[in-house]
Amino acid sequence: MIQTSELLSQSTARAKEWLASNIDADSKKQVEALLNREDPKLLIDSFYKTLEFGTGGLRGIMGVGSNCINRYTIGVATQGLANYLKKTYPKEPVQVAVGYDSRNNSKYFAQVTADVFSANGITVHLFPELRPTPLLSFAIRHLKCQSGVVITASHNPKEYNGYKAYWNDGAQLVPPHDKNVIKEVNAITSFDQIKFNSDPTKIKTIGPELEEAYYQEVQKLIPRKESIKKQSQTSIVYSSLHGAGITMVPECLKRLGFQNVTIIEEQRVPDGNFPTVESPNPEERSAMDLALRKASAIGADLVMATDPDTDRVGIGIRNPKGEFFLLNGNQALSLMMWFILKNLKDPKESYVAKTIVTTDLIDRMAEHFGVECVNTLTGFKYIAELIRDNEGKKKFIAAGEESYGYMVGDFVRDKDAVSACAFFAAMLAAAKDEGQSLFGWLVEMYREFGLYREGLVNVVRKGAEGAGQIKYMMERFRSNPPHVIAGQKVIRLLDYERSIERNLLNGHERPITLPKSDVLQFLTWEGAKISVRPSGTEPKIKFYVSVNLRLTDPKNFELAMEHLGDKIAAIEKDLVR
């Protein structure tokens, strides 16, 4: 592990390079202040490395420095992408779409992005106001752009922002484009190489007709519209968590016919400080508290809350006791897939998709209904790549991942919380029309296909030292994998970095055909699955745990869930020491 003294030396040298470069006066003052601080930690965290343009773009804490999100790191990323676009499309005019969410400085960084693209002779379709990320994905294909960028850090804490790059199919960058763009970005060695001077004639404002086209596509995918008409007064509570969802989710629900949608007023106004939540992440119950309290007070049937860029949604439903039950990402996706699959008229040449860390219940249900289930690496860009590769060959139905991302239909090529909110509301209407509830459907699904429960442990390790600790933990699991976890014998090991699956009972090995990725999976004799991977967007290592059992009597649902919860806790305790 690199010593603090070495990191300080590297950071100081990099900071002095910034001071000597052609940056603005205010940025120079901030760099000088870091150099003069008695405690060097902030200097190291800001400059110990150059913020990498990874396969998903950029994400980091906002501030001055090579390892932060600022005008210059955004400028480098955009100039590198512009250079690659011009090399890839030398004989045709290049167009890009640029959007942004509610985070602090998002609008400013979007304008910087548009300025740099336009200065390179590229036509920019710029959203005039914040809008959900899925609309940016939709815009790329609808406007026939070659690329696109959205300024967002998704559900990260308020200190963060980011830069997500998309290709001409509306999906985030995948090979070979991701690596090629990274090469172009890394080739920029001076801020003087960035063309910051905008060409306003190249920047066009996106009009409302784009949203109209999007709403029309949503209308096409919603099933059981007759149920919505009958259940139009169904009470729904929605929160945008101070994000971009407020611009589209309520309108989308209204257009479908839902007339009783309550908005959480305290969280209606977009605000990058997210003043009413500790974290704007609908995966965390605390972010849903205001919406849940309101729903309980007014007797609502469904609670939905979206993250700042509106690509993820948290779902709350009522249990038989009248209490709200928060679906985790695996449960929500499973319920959505169960509803879709059992109502599918023609499963021939159809497929659904999910990521390798998402519940295997989806695989089991798809097999039962005669539909192929394709597993991809973590990240919707791989699902989008799968859709592109199968266009004209197979019919894509729906996809999702455990981290609260869902997609029905392929008109958007990324996870989409706007259409997901519409779909879950339509599912509620269909259930009520049958005299059922979403909770009742959930238990019925588990009774039919098995009760699966999943858990997720995030071990956070911040800064330069934390990055080294995460790397060491992965190396330890890879070089010395456990043979027993919480008393369960490990029988299969899948190493996606080495592309090998090993049967630990007989030693047989077979190749893993997915692209290489720093992921390990351990499968036990009792049917548990444990996945370990470092986060690609946050300073943490993730442990995904899945266990299951047969649920013969729905009355035993809570007791069975508790039993599986104990199993998960034991596994987590054994892994995270």
Which of 493 and 469 is assigned the larger pLDDT? 493
Pair 499, 374 in one domain? no
Residues 307, 272: contact at Cβ < 8 Å?
Answer: no
pLDDT exceeds cutoff 70 at 303 = yes
Same domain (yes/no): 250, 394? yes
Range of the domain at 137: 49-206
CB 415 within 8 A of CB 405: yes
Residue 42 lies in a domain: no
pLDDT value of position 1? 41
Average pLDDT, the chain: 94
- Residue with the larger pLDDT of the pair 575 and 356: 356
Least confident of 143-152, 428-437, 500-509: 500-509
The structure tokens listed for 275 are 């003043």
Task: Give the whole-angstrom CA distance, residue 363 versus residue 333.
Answer: 12
Specify if 87 maps to a domain. yes
Residue 73 and residue 113 in contact, taking contact as beta carbons nearer than 8 Å: no
pLDDT band for position 460 (cuts 50, 70, 90): confident
Provide the pLDDT for residue 191: 95
Of 395, 427, 449, the domain-final residue: 449
Q: Report the CATH number at residue 337.
A: 3.40.120.10
Phi-psi region of 116 (alpha: psi -120 to 50; beta: other; left: phi over 0): alpha
Cα 31 to Cα 42, 67, 69, 361, 454, distances in angstroms: 11, 13, 14, 52, 45
Q: Is the domain of 374 the same as that of 321?
A: yes
- Catalytic residue positions, numbered: 154
Q: Is 22 domain-assigned?
A: no
Q: For 109-161, write each residue's pLDDT tens digit.
A: 999 999 999 999 999 999 999 999 999 999 999 999 999 999 999 888 999 99
pLDDT tens digit sequence for 231-244:
999 999 999 999 99
Give a yes or no: residue 26 inside a domain: no
Q: Are residues 501 and 559 in the same domain?
A: yes
Assigned token pair, 259? 């007339």
Joined together, the tokens standing for residue 250 give: 């309520």
Residues 173 and 281 in one domain: no
* Confidence label for 537 from pLDDT (cuts 50, 70 and 90): low
pLDDT of 29 over the 50 cut: yes
Name the pLDDT band for 548 (thresholds 50, 70, 90). very high
Q: Are residues 408 and 296 in the same domain?
A: yes
- Indicate if 467 and 529 belong to the same structural domain: yes
Same domain, 96 and 133: yes
Flag whether 14 is in a domain: no
91 has pLDDT over 80: yes
Q: Which residue blocks in 62-208 are alpha helix, DSSP H?
A: 71-88, 106-119, 133-142, 177-186
Q: Tell me: the pLDDT tens digits for 305-323?
A: 999 999 999 999 999 999 9
pLDDT band (50, 70, 90) for residue 3: low
Which of 2-16, 108-122, 532-546: highest mean pLDDT? 108-122
Shared-domain flag, residues 262 and 380: yes
Span 403-414, mean pLDDT? 96
Confirm whether 13 is domain-assigned. Answer: no
> How many other C-beta atoms lie within 10 A of the C-beta of residue 422?
26
What are the Cα distances from residue 289, in Å, to 130, 264, 292, 439? 25, 11, 5, 20
For residue 186, the one-letter residue type is N
Structure tokens at 19: 């001071």
pLDDT at 2 over 60: no
Within a domain: residue 265?
Answer: yes
Say yes or no: 545 and 457 in one domain: yes
Distance CA 87, CA 66 (A): 26
Whether residues 425 and 490 share a domain: the answer is no
Instruction: Provide the domain count of the chain.
Output: 3
Q: How confident is the model at residue 389 (pLDDT cuts 50, 70, 90)?
A: very high
Of 449, 483, 515, the residue that ends a domain is 449
Last residue of a domain, one of 418, 449, 480: 449
> Is 29 a member of any domain?
no
- Do 466 and 321 belong together in one domain? no
Given a cut of 90, whether residue 256 has pLDDT beyond it is yes
What CATH number should be reported for the domain holding residue 473?
Answer: 3.30.310
SS (H, E, C) 145-184: CCEEEEECCCCCCCCEEEEEEEECCCCECCCCHHHHHHHH
Rounded CA separation 81/177 (Å): 10
Q: What is the DSSP string of 249-272?
A: HHHHHHHHT---EEE-GGGTS--T
Instruction: Look at strands 123-126 and 203-205 and give their pairing.
Output: parallel
pLDDT confidence band for 54 (50 / 70 / 90) = confident
pTM of the model: 0.92
Encode pLDDT of 187-229 as tens digits: 999 999 999 999 999 999 999 999 999 999 999 999 899 999 9
